[in-house]
């Protein structure tokens, strides 16, 4: 994996990762506003390109196709853009190429919610998340914990329990500004 990065920290894209439905889109939009940056939601962009919803893409074109498009899109924006706030779909970061490009070119924040807090959201998101459909609670729990290995590869983690989206976004902004000041201070 490429470890040296010549993009100044202040210009690097900020990428939000985490399990489906934790609030990556809402929080990404707030962070973008607070830092005066553009926001890119990968799933929304894929939906726009295909003029189809994510569940329809899964159903008609298949998960394998979705993962390929998702990976290519993320590699492209992480390589060719700067100063963006990007929220990834929850499964994107399981692909090694996605992790490598995010960690080598961007600043990666893991939005971490406990299983107990997250599981209450299932009824709200199950219809729009094909991977949750027709799964038992035990199967979903297994998926939730299995994915933590990939998510553990991040630059910074925000524990979201008991925080509203505004507070999570404030923490990310504060953390990123500290990083800028510590590692690349303005003269």
Among 16-24, 30-38, 151-159, 169-177, which window interacts with ligand S3P (CB under 6 A)? 16-24
Binding map of ligand S3P across residues 20-39, x = CB under 6 A, - = no contact: xx--x---------------
Closest CB 96 distance from ligand S3P, rounded Å:
15
Q: DSSP string of 152-176?
A: TSSSEEEE-TT--HHHHHHHHHHHH
Work out how close the CB of 33 gets to ligand S3P at its nearest, in angstroms, rounded to a whole number. 19
Closer to ligand S3P by Cβ: residue 12 or 129: 129
15 binds ligand S3P (CB under 6 A): no
Q: Taken in order 115, 138, 98, 41, is the CA torsion positive or negative?
A: negative
Spell out where 5-145 has E strands: 14-17, 38-41, 84-87, 107-112
Nearest-angstrom CA–CA distance, 91 and 132: 12
- Give the integer Cα–Cα distance in Å for 153 and 163: 22
Residues 67-126 that bind ligand S3P (CB under 6 A): 89-91
CA distances to 41, 67, 88, 166 from 60, in Å: 22, 14, 21, 36
- Among residues 50 and 82, whose Cβ is nearest to ligand S3P? 50
Nearest approach in angstroms of CB 85 to ligand S3P is 14
List of residues 6+ apart from 146 with CB closer than 8 A? none
CB of 143 to ligand S3P, least distance (A): 8
Residues in touch with ligand S3P (CB under 6 A) = 20-21, 24, 43, 54, 89-91, 129-131
């Amino acid at each position: 994996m490429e470890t040296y990065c010549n993009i100044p920290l202040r210009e690097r894209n900020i990428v939000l990762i985490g399990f489906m439905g934790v609030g990556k889109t809402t929080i990404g939009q707030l962070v973008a506003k607070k830092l005066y940056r553009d926001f890119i939601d990968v799933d929304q962009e894929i939906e726009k390109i295909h003029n189809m919803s994510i569940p329809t893409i899964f159903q008609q074109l298949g998960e394998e196709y979705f993962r390929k498009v998702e990976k290519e899109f993320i590699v492209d924006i992480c390589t060719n853009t700067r100063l963006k706030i990007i929220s990834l779909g929850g499964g994107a970061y399981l692909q090694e190429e996605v992790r490598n490009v995010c960690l080598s070119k961007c600043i990666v924040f893991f939005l971490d919610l406990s299983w107990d807090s997250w599981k209450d959201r299932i009824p709200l998101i199950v219809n729009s998340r094909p991977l949750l459909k027709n799964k038992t609670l035990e199967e979903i729990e297994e998926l939730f914990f299995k994915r933590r290995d990939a998510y553990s590869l991040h630059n910074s983690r925000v524990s979201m329990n008991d925080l509203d989206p505004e507070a999570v976004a404030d923490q990310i902004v504060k953390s990123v500004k500290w990083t800028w000041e510590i590692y690349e201070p303005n003269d």
